[in-house]
Amino acid sequence: MFIYLYFHILHYQKLDVSADESAYFPLETILLDCGSSALRALSYDGRNWTNDSSHFGASNSESSFAMSRASLEETSVAEVPYMTARLFHSRFTYTFNVTPGSKFIRLHFYPDSYMNLNASKSFLTVTAGNYTLLRNFSAYLNAKHIKSAYFFKEFIVHVENHTLDLTFSPTTNASDGYAFVNGIEIVSMPLSLYYQANNVSAMETMHRVNVGGQSIPPNEDTGMSRSWAMDSSYIFGEAFGVENYDFDASITYPKEVSAYIAPQGVYKTPHSMSPVPEININYNLSWTFPLDPSFMYLIKLHLCEISRNITKINQRVFDIFINNQVIERGIDIIALTYGNDIPLYRDFTVLIPNLTTKHDLWLELHPNLQTKPQYYDAILNGAEIFKVSNIDGNLAGLNPSLKNESNVDGDEPSFSSSSSKTSTEAILIIIGSLLVLVLAISLGFYLVAFLRRRNLEWTKKENTRSSLPYRSFSIDEIKMATDNFNEAKLIDRGAFGLVYKGYIDHGSIAVTINRLIQC
């Protein structure tokens, strides 16, 4: 069961445009190239990174950590901060002197062989004060899952005093077990950017996408070094819609929307639907985002009307769905902002239920038909999704499950002897053979019953065939019903061809259409 607690930031009783479009200037920007022995700062993504030696906690023993360089130096992997790592064989703490307030914490990982250690044996737990950011975390499994040699995890933590302690611990006690980190960022942020009211829970950034546009690197963000990814990998099916852009648009932030909330590039490149209303009313703009179960999530959607064809109320009105449930109807950006090129956002809180595996969150937009707008269309500029810590301060999820990998679902590696492995395989083979035999017998009984029932139904159909009404369709009508056999409407591939879902009589009747494929 999905529970949706949503609240809207209803801006603009009457719009007063602010000319202040300055970016946010963080009070702290700490960039650590962990394990580096460089005596001077090294530049990466337009920022200067230093070694991590000045932030060691006083309680750390010299035997608890080591520094190492990656054995495989891929040209696609940046030198800073990924080519060096700090290794931990026991509990290790970094101490940062900071001002009270909210901070971005970004942990960078490049799971390679350090000091001849196996990256798959590294399992890590990270805490920040009273919050658990990662538990039994495998950088190796996560890199395999996202098919990237390196990556980072971003968290938001509220610091009450002037000290932030970041503690790393290896999870496994195996002799070859260890933990590591390649880079650490601490960047301050405005309290009101993502937190609501007095809520100061920790959060993890799960997804941040520039919908309809290119990726935006940290040095092009509004002062907080956030990374905005393209949305193409999140779009469901073949219904990509239309990528719009107006790089000449003059984005004007109102007083209710801070200029640092998102870069102008987010608002200049939205995703909308097709120009054909008959097509738009029969599909949704859809994105899927994998999330961890048993957590609350904050979803922030960025909206801005940049089309010069839409300048009046009730020209483009749409609904927002999350996991097939309506969370807001009748969004009319012009009605809310009183003009073009003016950003607004919507915040929604969603609870993902207690499941055993990762869950995909569905975000969908559909034209609102009740208001009968001039254009049956929908638009989205950007989306951010944050996991909110549980009541015990935990943010840690499971490691991804990979085929042919040990350590699935976040479990530590098990070390068994070859004899026990052989006996287990023998037992599995016997059980598998018995299951195949039972299935074969069951299938035989099923086929006999099925053939008898089909003969009876066929006889009934032959007796009543002449009395049934029928209706013929032209090929043009069939193409219109299926959007010219759009792959997004394909629902089955059978022995007798392809089966599509379509709509006839102006979308009032849903039908299935079988398209025969001749060999």
Q: For residue 504, give the CATH number of its domain.
A: 3.30.200.20
Is 439 inside any structural domain?
Answer: no
154 and 223 belong to one structural domain: no
**pLDDT (0 to 100) of residue 421:** 42
**pLDDT (0 to 100) of residue 7:** 42
- pLDDT band, very low/low/confident/very high, at 408 (cuts 50, 70, 90): very low
Is 422 inside any structural domain?
Answer: no
122 and 71 belong to one structural domain: yes
**pLDDT (0 to 100) of residue 358:** 73
pLDDT digits (tens, 9 = 90+) for 431-461: 666 666 666 666 665 665 555 565 555 444 4
**What is the C-alpha to C-alpha distance for residues 317 and 369, in angstroms, rounded to an integer?**
8
Domain count, the chain: 3
Q: Give the strand order in the sheet containing 490-494.
A: 490-494, 497-504, 509-515
119 residue type, one letter? A
**pLDDT (0 to 100) of residue 309:** 93
Give me the sign of the Cα torsion angle 112, 114, 119, 122: negative
pLDDT digits (tens, 9 = 90+) for 227-255: 999 999 999 876 666 777 788 889 999 98
43 and 171 belong to one structural domain: yes
218 and 330 belong to one structural domain: yes
More confident residue, 158 or 418: 158
**pLDDT (0 to 100) of residue 433:** 64
**pLDDT (0 to 100) of residue 50:** 95
DSSP string, 63-99: GGEEEEE-S---TTS-HHHHSEEEEESS-EEEEEE--
**pLDDT (0 to 100) of residue 426:** 52
**What is the SS3 assignment for 116?**
coil
**What is the C-alpha to C-alpha distance for residues 156 and 101, in angstroms, rounded to an integer?**
10
Query: Where a domain ends, among 336, 368, 387?
Result: 387
DSSP string, 292-315: -SS-EEEEEEEE----TT--STTS
266 and 160 belong to one structural domain: no
**What is the C-alpha to C-alpha distance for residues 320 and 157, in angstroms, rounded to an integer?**
29
**pLDDT (0 to 100) of residue 10:** 36
**What is the C-alpha to C-alpha distance for residues 6 and 258, in angstroms, rounded to an integer?**
21
Query: Where a domain ends, among 343, 370, 387?
Result: 387
136 and 218 belong to one structural domain: no
Is 97 inside any structural domain?
Answer: yes
CA neighbor of 127 nearest in space, from 118, 114, 136: 136
For 128-139, what is the mean pLDDT?
A: 96
**What is the C-alpha to C-alpha distance for residues 169 and 88, in angstroms, rounded to an integer?**
7
Place of tokens 């035999």: 437
Determine the structural domain holding residue 98 and report its residue range.
23-189
Single pTM value for the model: 0.74
Is 365 inside any structural domain?
Answer: yes
Is 169 inside any structural domain?
Answer: yes
Is 247 inside any structural domain?
Answer: yes
Helix (H) or strand (E) holding 457, with range, is helix 418-464
122 and 218 belong to one structural domain: no
**pLDDT (0 to 100) of residue 74:** 86
97 residue type, one letter? N
Is 268 inside any structural domain?
Answer: yes
pLDDT digits (tens, 9 = 90+) for 94-130: 999 999 999 999 999 999 999 999 999 999 999 999 9
Of 2-11, 213-222, 352-361, 507-516, the range with the lowest mean pLDDT is: 2-11
**pLDDT (0 to 100) of residue 507:** 61
**pLDDT (0 to 100) of residue 452:** 59
Is 456 inside any structural domain?
Answer: no
- pLDDT band, very low/low/confident/very high, at 493 (cuts 50, 70, 90): low
Asked if residues 99 and 361 have their Cβ atoms less than 8 Å apart, the reply is no
- pLDDT band, very low/low/confident/very high, at 517 (cuts 50, 70, 90): low
277 and 168 belong to one structural domain: no
**pLDDT (0 to 100) of residue 469:** 44
**What is the SS3 assignment for 409?**
helix
Residues of the chain above pLDDT 90, percent: 57
**What is the C-alpha to C-alpha distance for residues 72 and 223, in angstroms, rounded to an integer?**
33
Whether the bond into 217 is cis, omega within 30 of 0: no
